Chain A
């Protein structure tokens, strides 16, 4: 069952001079068994949504429903702690939260808090390490001795090891070099395809969204602007740029080319697709 936001508002510092409305009556659904991209400008409420999903924040009004139950329902308190394990949340720069003596212990921290047995923890750690592509020979090192990319992987593995039904990642690739970026996002996609869970990636980058997400939710200043698959989202590049967001560069290129009458009618959002379309166009003309 999906995560459903129903008319959710969230106000930071309610009843203080610093009151700031982060979300204003948003409704959307995070579907099962796919990668959902959450995109929006800084301050559009992306990170707030992440923390509403697992119950760290309580909506000022409206309900967040996970697996059919309102997670902030006072009647089932047990639900609250269970929800942290059901909705795994990877914060921005998660490597700053590593603290155990060894990477192995740190990745096992979540499962241990869930009350897993030692064998179960070992099994989960091994699996999580495989999913994120962490170098296994470094499992018994201190997390503070790792490189940035490896730290990031270890931190993400720490959440994956809890085997959450929903995995939410806030800017999982921020601050990594292009190779590390692609690698982590590819690994996450493989993870989703293998486990058939629901993965949410929060990002600024339309390129990442186009390459890795199945469904995209575009936010604008506290509300949902648009919600749908890639074709729906990227069909109107001008509207997106007016929000301060851009479509992938290749989509923009094709869009502009079409203005000059090139005539590629299908929606394009990856370089590979563009290549195919252009080749088809060329070979089609050749036949003529």
Chain B
């Protein structure tokens, strides 16, 4: 059950997106997020959707993987769609039965909502988790935040903390599973009984887990000291990050997409037809 969480799931590959610089991908993700939240016109949404589709195709991640990633938000999707359709009360009335009235504006805003959520999830997960390993990602974050080091922000330490946290997610998950199994074997009941009883049963998981996290932290810090770790100053990197021509193309394309979304917000679908008609 716990293993269904897809946080930080990375699929090794050799696509153009896999090979792009992590800093590029982070900036692209920011542009995509900004675009999804500024889009309002129908045309903008079409562009947004097509751009996300391009990301998905270029990444060569299987459709099943992406759909699985969408599974956790399926409920939100259905829920919001349902309310958008039922409670919009403007535009043209398309369908009426008993108290249910469906208007065209409801359908349109529901469709926009769906596109917005799907693009948000798919673009960020394709860019930041499916095609970027957690370690490379933290390297990228460190690289982007580097200017802050000038004003004495401990960027390197933040990056280290982040990559360690990511690194220990699977380890702690495995341990959680073990602890749950062990406490179940001693008769702990996590799924029935009063709320208080269940909360108490959870304590039997949290305390050992906390103890083990602290144990790992102590062991790790000692191991790091033994191997001569002394912070970020003068440290070189195994993986040198390099902005290549393709990275600039990616960035420009994303910026263009963002600009197009903003400009086209003013125009609807009918304007497009008008354009061709003229």
Interface residues, chain A, with chain B CB atoms under 8 Å away: 13, 51, 54, 56, 81, 84-85, 88-89, 91, 94, 96-99, 109-110, 113-114, 144, 158-159, 162
Contact call B181/A51, Cβ cutoff below 8 A: yes
Q: Which listed residue, A13, A51, A84, A144, touches B186 by the CB 8 Å rule?
A: A84
Please indicate the chain A residues that have their CB under 8 angstroms from the CB of B187 in the complex. 81, 84-85, 109-110, 113-114, 162
Interface residues of chain B: helix, strand, loop or mixed (majority) = helix
Please indicate the chain A residues that have their CB under 8 angstroms from the CB of B189 in the complex. 81, 113
Please indicate the chain B residues that have their CB under 8 angstroms from the CB of A54 in the complex. 185
Please indicate the chain A residues that have their CB under 8 angstroms from the CB of B178 in the complex. 91, 96
Interface residues, chain B, with chain A CB atoms under 8 Å away: 3, 175, 178-179, 181-189, 203-204, 207-208, 211-212
State the CA gap A83–B48 with chains docked (Å).
55
Contact call B211/A144, Cβ cutoff below 8 A: yes
Nearest CB of B to A144, in Å: 7
State the CA gap A286–B139 with chains docked (Å).
78
| A-B contact number at CB 8 A | 56
Contact call A162/B207, Cβ cutoff below 8 A: no
- Which of chain B's residues has its CB closest to A164's CB? B185
What are 21 contact pairs spanning A and B, CB under 8 A?
A51-B181, A54-B185, A56-B181, A81-B189, A89-B185, A91-B185, A94-B182, A96-B208, A96-B211, A97-B179, A97-B208, A99-B203, A99-B208, A99-B211, A109-B187, A110-B187, A113-B186, A113-B187, A113-B189, A158-B186, A159-B186
Residue of B179, B185, B187, B212 ringed by the most chain A CB atoms within 10 A? B185
Please indicate the chain A residues that have their CB under 8 angstroms from the CB of B179 in the complex. 96-97
Nearest CB of A to B65, in Å: 10
- Which of chain B's residues has its CB closest to A88's CB? B185
State the CA gap A81–B203 with chains docked (Å).
20
State the CA gap A94–B183 with chains docked (Å).
10
- Which of chain A's residues has its CB closest to B178's CB? A91
Residue of B183, B186, B188, B212 ringed by the most chain A CB atoms within 10 A? B186
Please indicate the chain A residues that have their CB under 8 angstroms from the CB of B204 in the complex. 97, 99, 109
Given A91-B178, A109-B204, A96 contacting B185 (CB threshold 8 A): no
Nearest CB of B to A104, in Å: 15
Contact call B184/A97, Cβ cutoff below 8 A: no
State the CA gap A99–B205 with chains docked (Å).
8
Contact call A56/B185, Cβ cutoff below 8 A: yes
Nearest CB of B to A102, in Å: 13
Pick the 4 closest A-B CB pairs, nearest first: A113-B187, A99-B207, A110-B186, A97-B182
Nearest CB of A to B10, in Å: 14
Nearest CB of B to A205, in Å: 22
Nearest CB of A to B206, in Å: 8
Nearest CB of A to B193, in Å: 10
Please indicate the chain B residues that have their CB under 8 angstroms from the CB of A110 in the complex. 186-187
Nearest CB of B to A90, in Å: 8
- Which of chain B's residues has its CB closest to A161's CB? B186
State the CA gap A144–B210 with chains docked (Å).
12
State the CA gap A81–B118 with chains docked (Å).
42
Please indicate the chain A residues that have their CB under 8 angstroms from the CB of B208 in the complex. 96-99
Residue of B175, B178, B182 ringed by the most chain A CB atoms within 10 A? B182
Taking A81-B187, A94-B182 as given, write out 4 further A-B residue pairs in contact, using a Cβ cutoff of 8 Å, ordered by the A residue number. Answer: A84-B186, A89-B185, A96-B208, A99-B204
Nearest CB of A to B189, in Å: 7
Nearest CB of A to B67, in Å: 15
Nearest CB of B to A60, in Å: 17
Nearest CB of A to B223, in Å: 18
Nearest CB of A to B116, in Å: 31
Residue of A51, A88, A99, A113 ringed by the most chain B CB atoms within 10 A? A99
Please indicate the chain A residues that have their CB under 8 angstroms from the CB of B181 in the complex. 51, 56, 91
Q: Which listed residue, B175, B186, B212, touches A109 by the CB 8 Å rule?
A: B186
Please indicate the chain B residues that have their CB under 8 angstroms from the CB of A98 in the complex. 208
State the CA gap A162–B189 with chains docked (Å).
15
Nearest CB of B to A33, in Å: 22
State the CA gap A260–B204 with chains docked (Å).
58
State the CA gap A91–B185 with chains docked (Å).
9
